[in-house]
């Protein structure tokens, strides 16, 4: 800018009191954008994240309405129709979903005249219904664990970082001990102690999942504690509670949300891992992990039982990762590429 | 420096002691006992519990365990091979897992470094995009998805490599497990290397070195690589351990008789001593590798002072 003294032109009303006109500084070239608007704009520019969000929404909606789309239930067994390949009559022209396996029409062989869209498992249960019910269970476990971990992490980190001193030292040692055991081992042991079930898996995920969030919140809180706006609050007599939740937390919320987002695919994986080890949710309830470990047993004979749940799991995990990436870039552009 | 190292080792030992305690407590809450079989009467179970010292109070059992452990005795297995020392049981399985984990780490690191370097040199070309795509896949998907895909397509459909581990073909039957386990580290390291190298290549001192007329090769090898690759070391140690403990599913898919499958069968048969031994060994490796990485990092990059930034 080479604005010299002479370029400044004063208008007659420049020195009048402002009164109610608060818009005097409105910039026409760079219109002011609210933070939310800015975040949404940055997020929408990321095509991968948008597609991922759409995919996740589709899978979530299917997990709600999918089980009701045909007449079967997830536990109803029809042993005479066991291990049927996928068949959708309307699609029979395309070479897949035509009910054949190794060139033989299994539906004709077993005398079945209805369609199982994703086939049946060795007990004759409809895999379409089981898949979407299982997806619902897996998503629920992951979401509850992510939210729970976020809460525990925030509280633990805020207390440890803000109070500091001896409290902080003790709390950090506890984290170190918990963190010294590989998380898969902790989860295995926790589920063993509590007997397999949805609740046990969620608690197992909550045992160590919060540590990352707690560490991050603690570090940020310690940094923010020294900032001038917090000191100003303290001088004005704000309570510790108010400083923590009104001053400190909003400043780290974007990082916390990103972290929680990244933990969802981890939780989905952990559930499937436990199922594979034999500590999944009990029969006949399905989950993605249960379906994969059941399908794995007949991988070479009936690959459809494994391929479909593995695909759904992979697409879900990939989408959540890309979505979290996009969220991080949108919420905190400074962190990009780190 | 030495004082610092000694202090760190002491803290690590303390942490390990507490970890052992936590594991011990957890195991004592396990439902069912290792002898809770329908064939045994109450008296027989009592005799067995007395034989293994399970009738004593928890704290006394813990101190007996620690005392024996310091002498290298991790107790005996109850169910997997009755009365067989846990330490020997683990020892037999450990080397297979270690071999698998180490090879996968090395393969993953080499591939990852290569991909990351290529991506950073050919920044914003299709090579870069392809590498990014590969590393997103590798980071997002669990190793067992690759294991399942490889064992189905390469092992079963094309019949190129064995899908089940056997001692007769120790090399060829390990190729698929190693490949599927190295996908994660490869992606992680490629991502890391790319970010670090882009950072270094765009820095002022690289510009200065270039202005002074250094040849591209010296510029790259002596100035860029050295600074770009040090941070990669920090991920290596924890990665190796999480690979070993995370390989349980992959080991099961390829029927590799390693630590992972040992832990799984111990979990399923309530074999407490084996569960405790394997879990403790994982923790030990984890803590040692963190310590080594921390100390190594100070040696490699003197800018990061190990003794907590007290150097002026």
Q: pLDDT tens-digit profile of A83-102?
A: 677 776 666 666 666 667 66
Q: Which letter does DSSP use for residue A11 in this model?
A: -
| A157, A217 contact by CB (below 8 A) | yes
The answer to which of A67-81, A132-146, A240-254 has the lowest mean pLDDT is A67-81
- pLDDT tens, B88-97? 888 888 888 8
pLDDT confidence band for A20 (50 / 70 / 90): low
Decide: A230 and A248 in contact? Cβ < 8 Å.
yes
User: Does B286 contact A176 at a Cβ distance shorter than 8 Å?
Assistant: no
- The answer to whether residue A29 sits within a structural domain is no
Q: What CATH number should be reported for the domain holding residue A162?
A: 1.10.3720.10
Question: Would you state the pLDDT for residue B312?
Answer: 31
**Residue A115 belongs to a domain:** no
* Tens digits of residue pLDDT in A58-77: 999 988 887 777 777 777 77
Q: What is the reported pLDDT for A338?
A: 40
pLDDT tens, B276-308? 888 888 888 888 887 887 777 777 666 655 444
Chain A: residue nearest B286 by CA? A180
Mean pLDDT of the residues in chain B: 79
Query: Cα–chain-centroid distance for residue A2?
Result: 51
Residue A201 lies in a domain: yes
A288: containing domain? 42-83+120-335
Q: Which pLDDT does position B6 carry in this prediction?
A: 87
Q: Look-up: residue for tokens 């020892």?
A: B91
The region of weakest confidence among A211-225, A232-246, B66-80 is B66-80
Mean pLDDT, residues A106-134: 76
Put simply, the answer to whether A193 touches B30 (Cβ < 8 Å) is yes
Mean pLDDT (whole number) for A232-249 = 84
Query: What's residue A244's pLDDT?
Result: 84
Average pLDDT, chain A: 80
Higher model confidence: residue A160 or residue B73? A160
Number of domains within chain A: 1
pLDDT > 70 in chain A, percent = 83
Q: Looking at the domain assignment, is residue A312 inside a domain?
A: yes
Residue from the list A181, A265, A306 with its beta carbon closest to the beta carbon of B279: A181
8 A C-beta contact, residue B260 and residue B97: yes
Q: Widest CA span of chain B, in angstroms?
A: 86
Q: Which residue of B has its CA nearest to A321?
A: B140
- Range 239-278 of B in CB contact (< 8 A) with A: 241-242, 245-246, 248-249, 252-253, 263-264, 267-268, 275, 278
- Exposure b/e, B150-160, CB count within 10 A at least 16 = b: bbbebbeeeee
| Residue A104 resides in a domain | no
Whether residue A3 is contained in a domain is answered as no
Domains of chain B: 89-259 (1.10.3720.10)
Q: Check residue A150 and give its pLDDT.
A: 92
Residue A152, pLDDT score = 93
Residues A214-221 have a mean pLDDT of 88
Q: Give every CB contact of residue B155 below 8 A, 6+ residues apart in sequence.
A: B161, B162, B163, B176
What pLDDT is stored for residue B309 in this prediction?
41
Q: Is the dihedral of CA A299, A305, A307, A309 positive or negative?
A: negative
The residue among A316, A287, A286, A292 whose CA lies nearest residue A57 is A316
What's the whole-number mean pLDDT along residues B56-73?
Answer: 78
Distance of residue A314 Cα from the nearest chain B Cα, in angstroms = 6
């Amino acid at each position: 800018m080479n604005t010299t003294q002479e370029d400044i032109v004063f208008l007659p009303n420049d020195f009048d009191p402002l009164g109610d006109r608060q818009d005097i500084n409105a910039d026409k070239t760079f219109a002011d954008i609210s933070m939310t608007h800015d975040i949404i704009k940055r997020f929408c520019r990321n095509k991968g994240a948008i597609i991922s969000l759409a995919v996740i929404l589709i899978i979530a909606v299917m997990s709600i309405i999918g089980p009701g789309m045909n007449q079967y239930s997830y536990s109803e067994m029809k042993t005479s129709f066991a291990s049927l390949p996928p068949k959708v009559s309307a699609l029979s022209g395309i070479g897949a979903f035509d009910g054949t396996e190794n060139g033989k029409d299994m539906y004709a062989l077993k005398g079945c005249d209805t369609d199982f869209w994703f086939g049946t498992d060795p007990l004759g249960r409809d895999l379409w219904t089981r898949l979407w019910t299982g997806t619902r269970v897996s998503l629920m476990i992951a979401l509850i664990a992510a939210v729970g971990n976020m809460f525990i992490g925030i509280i633990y980190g805020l207390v440890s970082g803000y109070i500091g001193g001896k409290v902080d030292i003790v709390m950090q040692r506890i984290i170190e001990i918990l963190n010294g055991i590989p998380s898969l081992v902790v989860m295995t042991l926790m589920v063993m102690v509590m007997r397999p079930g949805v609740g046990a898996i969620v608690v197992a995920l909550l045992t160590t999942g919060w540590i990352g969030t707690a560490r991050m919140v603690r570090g940020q809180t310690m940094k923010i504690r020294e900032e001038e706006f917090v000191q100003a609050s303290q001088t004005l007599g704000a309570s510790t509670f108010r400083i923590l939740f009104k001053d400190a937390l909003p400043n780290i919320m974007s990082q916390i949300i990103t972290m929680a987002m990244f933990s969802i695919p981890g939780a989905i994986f952990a559930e499937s891992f436990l199922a594979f080890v034999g500590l999944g949710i009990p029969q006949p309830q399905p989950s993605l992990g249960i379906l994969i470990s059941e399908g794995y047993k007949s991988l070479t004979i009936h690959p459809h039982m494994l391929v479909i749940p593995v695909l759904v799991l992979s697409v879900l995990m990939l989408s959540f990762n890309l979505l979290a990436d996009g969220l991080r870039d949108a919420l905190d552009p400074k962190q990009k590429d780190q | 420096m030495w004082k610092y190292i000694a202090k760190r080792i002491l803290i690590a030992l303390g942490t390990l002691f507490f970890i052992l305690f936590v594991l011990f407590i957890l195991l004592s809450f396990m439902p069912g006992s290792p002898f809770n079989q329908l064939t045994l009467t109450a008296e027989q179970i009592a005799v067995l519990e007395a034989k293994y010292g399970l009738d004593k109070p928890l704290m006394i059992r813990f101190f007996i365990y620690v005392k024996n452990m310091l002498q290298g005795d991790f107790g005996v297995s109850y169910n997997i091979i009755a009365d067989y020392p846990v330490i020997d049981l683990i020892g037999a399985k450990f080397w297979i897992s270690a071999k698998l984990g180490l090879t996968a780490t090395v393969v993953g690191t080499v591939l990852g470094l290569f991909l990351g370097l290529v991506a950073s040199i050919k920044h914003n070309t299709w090579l870069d995009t392809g590498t990014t795509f590969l590393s997103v896949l590798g980071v997002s998907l669990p190793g067992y998805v690759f294991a399942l895909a490889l064992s189905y397509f390469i092992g079963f459909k094309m019949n190129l490599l064995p899908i089940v581990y056997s001692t007769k073909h120790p090399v060829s039957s390990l190729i698929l497990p190693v490949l599927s386990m190295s996908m994660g580290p490869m992606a992680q390291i490629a991502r890391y290397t790319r970010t670090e190298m882009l950072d270094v290549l765009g820095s002022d001192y690289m510009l200065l070195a270039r202005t002074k007329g250094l040849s591209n090769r010296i510029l790259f090898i002596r100035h860029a690589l050295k600074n770009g690759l040090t941070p990669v070391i920090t991920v290596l140690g924890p990665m190796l351990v999480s690979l070993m403990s995370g390989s349980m599913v992959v080991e099961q898919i390829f029927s590799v008789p390693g630590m992972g499958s040992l832990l799984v069968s111990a979990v399923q048969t309530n074999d407490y001593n084996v569960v405790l031994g394997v879990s403790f060994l994982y923790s030990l490796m984890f803590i040692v590798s963190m310590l080594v990485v921390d100390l190594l990092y100070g040696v490699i990059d003197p800018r990061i002072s190990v003794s907590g930034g007290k150097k002026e």
